[in-house]
Amino acid sequence: MPRTTPSLLAPSLAPTGLAPRGSVPQGTTRAWPSVLSYSFPEEREEPAPEPPSLAAKLAAADAAAQAQSPAPVAHETASCPAEERHAIEVTVVDDLERPLAGAYVELRKSDTEVVIGKTDVTGWLRFDGLEAGRYSLGMAGLDRDAWTALASETLPEERATSRGDATWKAPAALPTASTHTALQGEGLSELAARHGLHPDTLWSANPELQEQRHHRNVLAPGDTVKIPASTPRHQPAGVGEHHRLQRLGVVEALQLRFLDAEGKPRAGVAYLLTLHLPKGEELREGKTDGSGHVDEAVPPDLDEVTLQLVQDDVHELYRFAVNHLDPVEEISGAQARLLSLGHAQDPEEQGELGPYTVRTLRDFQRQAELEPTGQLDDATLAKLEELHLS
């Protein structure tokens, strides 16, 4: 640092008295003033520079790398897009390929992860929030023989994707084998539907019952029905697909026949049929066929029907309890069929082969050209079933 030149201070050489500025008294010699002292400012040592930080070193390294390589260096990081989700759609129909509401369908991701959906009134449901990959479909709680796959197709692009995440749960425990004691009004088809079985599967599992009863839906109260364990089944399904499944064994035939006083068919008569079901009432309209029959496909859990015939402005109302008919080999069952075929019964003989019932049986046997024994022999039982349609 350059030094600052100090001021020079001269001693007073003049005699006593004051002299004007710049004048020198006579008889004195001019001389250079002597220097009394020099004053210098304090000299301080400059602080040492701080070492470069890590950020500065990295910046310098980046600059050197850019100078040596023509490749651009990215200074921004792009965020990863959310993983796309997909969907699978299912439609369930019954034996007649009509939409089946309230059917449960299981989508399986693994042996420990499933999600279950329920079909709406159109028989349709949708599984959303699925990751890309393969899954498997099955009808929840049903035996392998109680459903089948009809077809599959690719969904339109706008329906193949979805949002959110599917909620996976552990699968329910499989039902085990059991036995059931039949109650009044229960048929085997109803029991099969209740336990997720096909009626044929349940009927085949009960050979002893087959020997007792002629018809699987005509059981007597107290009959023992063996319920086998169901065996589930699944089929492959991929995201972005629509699958059509069919529930089997859930349609039964309701048959009624109307004859006139002369025993001739009442053909072409308009009717209004009301089905009384656990879920509510269902109305059907139609006309009797050429043989006087009313044939309707109905669910197996049907309990009662009301039928109104309309002919020549005359309304006739009938009410039938479904599956409440005892087997034909039971006296009560034979009496009920005789009554339906126009042969009067004595209420006091209900379930007993009394004299009035014996006489009625003989009348029926003569009409059917059978030997009038008044007994429930095999030929009489077969004819009663044939004419009664059950």
pLDDT digits (tens, 9 = 90+) for 109-119: 999 999 999 99
* Geometric angle at alpha carbon 101, from 185 and 137, rounded to 5°: 110
Nearest to 123 by CA among 107, 99, 104: 99
CB atoms within 10 A of CB 339: 12
pLDDT at 49: 59
Contacts of 75 (CB under 8 A, 6+ apart): none
pLDDT at 299: 94
pLDDT at 228: 97
**Regions of the chain short of the pLDDT cut 70:** 1-82
Is 164 exposed, middle or buried (CB count within 10 Å of its CB: 0-12, 13-18, 19+)?
exposed
- The bridge status of strand 104-110 relative to strand 113-118 is antiparallel
pLDDT at 152: 97
* Domains and their CATH numbers in the chain: 85-173+233-247 (2.60.40.1120), 178-227 (3.10.350.10), 252-321 (2.60.40.1120), 331-388 (1.10.101)
Contacts of 314 (CB under 8 A, 6+ apart): none
CA distance 23 to 247: 138
Give the global pTM. 0.72
CA distance 15 to 31: 16
Half-sphere exposure of 239 (CA within 13 A, CB side): 18
pLDDT at 325: 84
Is 293 exposed, middle or buried (CB count within 10 Å of its CB: 0-12, 13-18, 19+)?
middle
CA distance 213 to 224: 12
Strand, helix or coil for residue 389: coil
pLDDT at 94: 97
pLDDT at 30: 45
What residue has token string 């690719």? 154
pLDDT at 9: 38
CB atoms within 10 A of CB 316: 13
Phi, psi of 90 (to 5 degrees): -140, 140
Strand, helix or coil for residue 135: strand
pLDDT at 177: 95
